[in-house]
Amino acid sequence: MKIATYNVNGVNGRLDILLRWLEETAPDVVCVQELKAPQEKFPIKAIEAAGYGAVWQGQKSWNGVAILTKGQQPHLTRKGLPGEREDLHSRYIEAIVDGLVIAGLYLPNGNPYPGPKFDYKLRWFERLHAYAAELLELEVPVVLAGDFNVMPTEMDVYKPERWTNDALFRIEVREAFKNLVDQGWTDALRTLHPDERIYTFWDYFRNAYARDAGLRIDHFLLSSEAAERLSKAEVDKRVRGWEHTSDHAPVWIELTDEPGKGRRKKS
């Protein structure tokens, strides 16, 4: 099974990019972030015409998440992260697909630091940490995929010294990500590429993509039941070079059909 995550930076404005990528790569599941579209404006007819079912939680401005599944309809299990009733941001969606729990998420950016947006990001991380522990207790394959808006280590950011006080690289945020992973999650991309500089985002400014001045902020975290099936993890970097494309590239993993057949590195 091929599972992808893609921050499209506007699902309607870049629908042609999304559909082209779906046609060329044919992932089985896609977690999509930053729809920038209210619920009724999600392009479901175009998605279905491309051969995908979908569940989504739309919202204007910068938010909105969706899960697309090839040739079937995902079984929606949750919209929104528990723990803060007044939080109306569309940042978490969850579905069951072929026996896997797939969670698509879009963490807050958190800038500027310090400030209320940064505080909200840390609270969101705390809520994710609490709920992720519940997911692990299910003892089934679980995939947390999306734009986490965090570079976990200095290897995950071009010129880290320039990002010390950015909310994507603040020590509090990196510690929150580490604490989440330490619950028992496997960072899929880093596990299979332990020593490589791999980026998933390149800013539109300062010729960042051409200079490969990027960030790794889109991640896959796998429960042990999913991690033992992990066989591949890659970034479709070329998509970032397309005209009028998102500032993120799609990231994807492949899971084998049988447990224990993957290439997860043993500790």
- Residue 91 near residue 104, CB atoms below 8 Å: no
| DSSP label of 170 | -
Query: pLDDT of 76-106, one tens digit each?
Result: 999 999 999 899 999 999 999 999 999 999 9
- For 136, list phi and psi in degrees, rounded to 5: -65, -30
- pLDDT at residue number 267: 36
- Region 240-262 average pLDDT: 92
* Alpha-helix runs per DSSP H in the chain: 15-25, 44-49, 116-137, 171-181, 188-192, 208-211, 224-227
- Dihedral, CA of residue 109, residue 115, residue 116 and residue 120, to nearest 10: 40
Q: Where are the domains of the chain?
A: 2-255
Query: What is the share, in percent, of the chain residues with pLDDT greater than 70?
Result: 98
- pLDDT tier at 260, thresholds 50, 70, 90: confident
Fold adopted by 2-255: Deoxyribonuclease I; Chain A (3.60.10)
Query: pLDDT of 123-182, one tens digit each?
Result: 999 999 999 999 999 999 999 999 999 999 999 999 999 999 999 999 999 999 999 999
Q: Structure pTM? A: 0.96
- pLDDT tier at 266, thresholds 50, 70, 90: very low
